[in-house]
Amino acid sequence: MDAIVQGFPIFLLIFCRITAFFVVAPVFSSQGVPGTFKIGLGFFISFIVFLTYGIGQTMVTDVTYLIVVLREVMIGLTIGFVVYLFFAVVQTAGSLMDLQIGFAMANVVDPHTGASAALIGNFKYMLMLVVFLSMNGHHYMLTALMDSYQWIPLSNDFFSRIMSGGVTDFLTRTVSNTFLLALQVAAPLVVAMFLTDLGLGFLTKTAPQFNVFVIGIPLKILIGLFLLILLLPGMAMLFDKLFSIMFESLEQLFGVVQGPPEGQ
């Protein structure tokens, strides 16, 4: 009974970080995943982490314990948010493509988030999830979450890092980098659509009898879909590069919050 009383606060802290991660992280945060499954998976992963890491830990359950719980929740949300940013790259790039092709008015409901998403953005997001699951990316993500206790132990300095601006600076740079990646992903099709608009503008000046709106809309759709088909074979390499950058960013986040563990 004494062991349970001493170990329960540690287990609760581990459970808070892992379940907070599941609330934000892609795949696990999907509305198609039942809430009972998320809680059960979080419980068993927390139990494994507790057996491997939390046995020798001690925690005083006083008023400051509530602050420690809040800190662990914020750490889990921050890790999940960093992962989500790189999945949002393809959605942002797809939205830019839809805006240029003309599909922006025909948004669909994303079953994973429940929000309205662009056609091409939703298609690329689904494709990215398939590639991510086929390469066991969710296993690597869970491994990174469990390894976070080696980099960011329960006795971490997360609040002091926030006050010093280290975490805020890292998140700002990560958001700007992911937006830049989205622009780079969408650049080939956006440039092609710009050249198409430029050609239609010259056509309007040289042959005013042509109705550019009647010709332009189906022409841009045909050119956009043709370019999308040409770009699809390279999506696997693109997703692989995004995943490698994502895990590097997670390692940088762990280093910003606490620093590498001893021996690394």
- pLDDT by residue for the chain (264 residues), tens only, comes to 566 667 788 888 889 989 999 888 888 887 777 888 888 888 898 888 888 887 777 776 777 888 888 988 999 999 999 998 988 888 888 888 887 877 766 666 665 556 666 677 777 888 888 888 888 888 888 888 888 888 888 877 888 888 888 888 999 999 999 999 888 888 888 888 888 888 888 887 887 777 777 777 788 888 888 888 888 888 878 888 888 888 888 888 888 887 666 555
Task: Record the tokens describing residue 79, joined without a space.
Answer: 């890790």
What predicted TM-score, i.e. pTM, was given to this entire model? 0.83
Domains of the chain, residue spans: 2-257
Beta bridge partners of residue 99, listed in sequence order: none
Find how far residue 92's CA is from the centre of its chain: 12
DSSP, collapsed to helix, strand or coil, labels residue 116 as strand
Cβ–Cβ < 8 Å for 130, 213: no
Nearest to 257 by CA among 48, 55, 134, 75: 75
Task: Record the tokens describing residue 68, joined without a space.
Answer: 């420690």
Taking the C-alpha atoms of residue 220 and residue 192, their distance in angstroms, rounded to an integer, is: 9
Cβ–Cβ < 8 Å for 9, 61: yes
What amino acid occupies position 125?
Y
Taking the C-alpha atoms of residue 21 and residue 72, their distance in angstroms, rounded to an integer, is: 10
